Amino acid sequence: MTESIVTVLIVDDHPVVRDGLKGMLANEEGFEVVGEAADGREAVSRALAFSPDVILMDLRMPGMNGVSAIKELAEKNVESRILVLTTFDTDSDVLPAVEAGATGYLLKDAPREELLRAIAAAARGEAVLSPTIGARLLGEVRQPSKEAVSQRELEVLQLVAAGSTNREIAQRLFISEATVKTHLLHIYAKLGVNDRAGAVGAAFERQLLTPGGSNPG
């Protein structure tokens, strides 16, 4: 196995879903499924055993649910990136998962290529957000003025534009990586984008950032 291969743990209480995801990834170069789990408790156990790069996490499962599993993985300092993959896009599902430390959030009806890109991006530590979820979060953070992006979010954007990783941003701003991810997801929602490159591009277009590296605010 080379460094270019992304190892994945699939967590879902439906065997058919797990089989489908496993089959899809088996046919793609650069991905390897190292384990499966049917609930949150098993997910934590398998994550500790296999140390996957990315955990595809369902939310609503019997026993320990996805959000509880994400919280426990964070408490145990598991470095795997967690990409939520679920059929639910309600606020009561999205926000707790993001706040618990999920790297990204996709719906199960996402196109194959979008899912593959999201897994690869999550493995790099990048926040990933389904456009549908972006619309949900936008409803949460929408403000009447044009200054919707907060000063802290601008600081995060500046560091993203400079090429900093989530970990580097967290160290620079003295916040946790989970908080960085939450800021990024809110930024994506406010700017109407779904990745780092789009956020930086939109920020320059709206003159929230300038080529010199400073911002007008």
Q: Is the pLDDT of residue 146 over 60?
A: no
CATH code of the domain containing 147: 1.10.10.10
Containing structural domain, residue 97: 6-125
Question: Which residue type sits at 185?
Answer: L
In this structure, the answer to whether residues 117 and 147 fall within a common structural domain is no
pLDDT at 217 exceeding the cut of 70:
no
Helix boundaries (H) for the chain = 15-26, 40-50, 66-75, 91-100, 112-123, 131-141, 151-161, 166-173, 177-191, 196-205
Query: What confidence tens digit (pLDDT) does each residue in 83-121 have?
Result: 999 887 665 677 788 778 888 888 888 889 999 999 999
On whether both 116 and 195 belong to a single domain, the answer is no
Assess if residue 19 is contained within a domain. Answer: yes
Give the contacts of 127 (CB within 8 A, at least 6 positions apart).
103, 104, 166, 181, 184, 185, 188, 195, 196
Residues 150, 193 within the same domain: yes
pLDDT tens for each residue of 32-42: 999 999 999 99
Instruction: Specify the number of domains making up the chain.
Output: 2
- For the beta sheet containing 6-11, the strands, ordered from the edge strand earlier in sequence to the opposite edge, are 31-37, 6-11, 54-57, 81-86, 104-107, 128-129
Please tell me whether residues 12 and 101 are part of one structural domain.
yes
Asked if 48 contacts 75 with a C-beta cutoff of 8 angstroms, the reply is no
Statement to judge: residues 15 and 121 lie in one domain: yes
pLDDT at position 54:
97
Q: Are 27 and 112 contained in the same domain? A: yes
Does residue 132 lie in a domain region?
A: no
More confident residue, 9 or 177: 9
Does any domain span residue 215?
Answer: no
- Do 73 and 106 have their domain in common? yes
